[in-house]
Amino acid sequence: MLLALGVALAGLGLMAAFLVLRRRAERDAIDDLLGLSLGPWTDEVTGTAGDPGRGPDHASDQATLGGLAGRANNLADQVVKRVDRRHALGLSLERARVPLHPGEYVIVVGAAGLGAAALLVWMTGSVLAAPVGPVAAAVVGSQLVRRRIAKRRKAFEAQLPDALGLVASSLSAGHTFLRAIQMMCEEAGPPIAEEFALVVAETRLGDPLVDALERMAERMQVRDMDMVVQAVRIQQTVGGRLATLLHTLSDFIRSRSELRREVMVLTAEGRMSAFVLAGLVPFLFATMVVLNPGYVAPLYKGWGLVLLGGCTLSVLAGLFTILRMVRIDV
């Protein structure tokens, strides 16, 4: 039991240490790029010279730890490149704006899975429960990324009508399309300001503006933005007043957003029923564990683990089915 608990703490500690080392490496790289490095014997807070006797040892320890983290990251990146040929993981992390490379994400999830597996073995006393930890860590990690992507997409959709209105007003005032986008980025907030700022940066590097907008629409996967890109492309081909076109698109997208919110209100009861029914099973199981632990003890070994797995899959299938039934695309 103590060994399992020690492995769990080691796994969680590895994950935390890797994140700290990565953040320190990023800070050092930025400092070197800006010329802010104060040297290995300089105090990071005061900027004064430190003790020369402990400076080299401290610097060598940091270099050793950073080298280990770098080699682990490179190995994980190579594995991800061989397995993920389509770079789906990297694209998902980019869409979610998660500050991790694919290899770093795999290391963090793997460390969390190791810690979860050891905790499950310590809690249940059965080695058969160990595989549940890595699987649960992978599922939770992927769901967190997906939820972050969905959250940014919803925020983008909510900000898009007002952003188009700002761009159209700037065009009516006589500004160019690129300058109007820059002014909108100064007024709006994330995530739409971040995405359009990236469009401006790509345009400054020589990329056509419409192509940069099209890549942003593909990255965000928002149908309203696809419509905007197609309208801008057609306008630049056949001509016309872009400000009037953007005002019309802004009003149309705002109307669709209102209809979408009305549908969400009408389907709220079905979604709440799905969450209540799915949460009832683990709540009752936790209650039985607290009130009478011996009653559920046979489920921790042998066929009991199979029954627990089947029950979990059944609950997830029911939750997915209900949520699928109440989801209406507008």
Q: Based on the domain organization, do 241 and 283 belong to the same domain?
A: no
Q: Based on the domain organization, do 163 and 227 belong to the same domain?
A: yes
pTM for the complete prediction? Answer: 0.65
Domain boundary among 205, 233, 254: 254
- Residue 52 is assigned to a structural domain of this protein: no
Q: Which residues contact 61 (CB under 8 A, 6 or more apart)?
A: none
Q: Based on the domain organization, do 250 and 271 belong to the same domain?
A: no
Q: Based on the domain organization, do 249 and 277 belong to the same domain?
A: no
Query: d(Cα 311, Cα 282) in Å, to the nearest integer?
Result: 10
Query: d(Cα 31, Cα 104) in Å, to the nearest integer?
Result: 22
Query: d(Cα 66, Cα 73) in Å, to the nearest integer?
Result: 10
Q: Based on the domain organization, do 238 and 275 belong to the same domain?
A: no
H-only helix segments in 173-267: 177-187, 192-204, 209-220, 223-238, 242-266
Q: Based on the domain organization, do 250 and 275 belong to the same domain?
A: no
Q: Based on the domain organization, do 165 and 188 belong to the same domain?
A: yes
Query: d(Cα 79, Cα 74) in Å, to the nearest integer?
Result: 9
Domain boundary among 254, 276, 308: 254
Per-residue pLDDT tens, the chain, 330 aa: give them. Answer: 545 555 555 555 555 555 545 554 554 554 454 444 433 333 333 344 444 444 444 444 444 445 555 666 667 667 777 776 777 777 888 888 887 778 778 888 888 888 878 877 777 777 777 788 788 888 888 888 889 999 998 889 889 999 999 999 988 888 888 899 989 988 888 888 888 998 899 898 888 888 899 888 888 888 888 888 988 888 888 877 888 888 898 898 888 888 888 888 888 888 898 889 888 988 988 888 888 888 888 888 878 888 888 888 998 898 899 888 888 876
Query: d(Cα 139, Cα 109) in Å, to the nearest integer?
Result: 10
Q: Based on the domain organization, do 99 and 26 belong to the same domain?
A: yes
Helices and strands in the chain, H and E counts:
13, 0
- Residue 276: what are its φ and ψ, rounded to 5°? -65, -45
Angle at 281 between CA 276 and CA 287, to 5 degrees: 110
Q: Based on the domain organization, do 246 and 282 belong to the same domain?
A: no
What does the pLDDT read at residue 38?
39
Domain boundary among 204, 227, 254: 254
Q: Based on the domain organization, do 95 and 19 belong to the same domain?
A: yes
- Residue 149 is assigned to a structural domain of this protein: no
What does the pLDDT read at residue 37?
40
Give the structural domain span for 295: 267-326
Q: Based on the domain organization, do 120 and 10 belong to the same domain?
A: yes
What does the pLDDT read at residue 16?
54
- Residue 51 is assigned to a structural domain of this protein: no
Structure tokens at 51: 């003790």
Q: Based on the domain organization, do 116 and 201 belong to the same domain?
A: no
What does the pLDDT read at residue 282?
86
What does the pLDDT read at residue 32?
53
How many domains does the structure of the chain reveal? 3
Q: Which residues contact 219 (CB under 8 A, 6 or more apart)?
A: 91, 94, 95, 195
- Residue 141 is assigned to a structural domain of this protein: no
Task: Say how many C-beta atoms besides its own lie within 10 A of residue 111's C-beta.
Answer: 21
- Residue 108 is assigned to a structural domain of this protein: yes
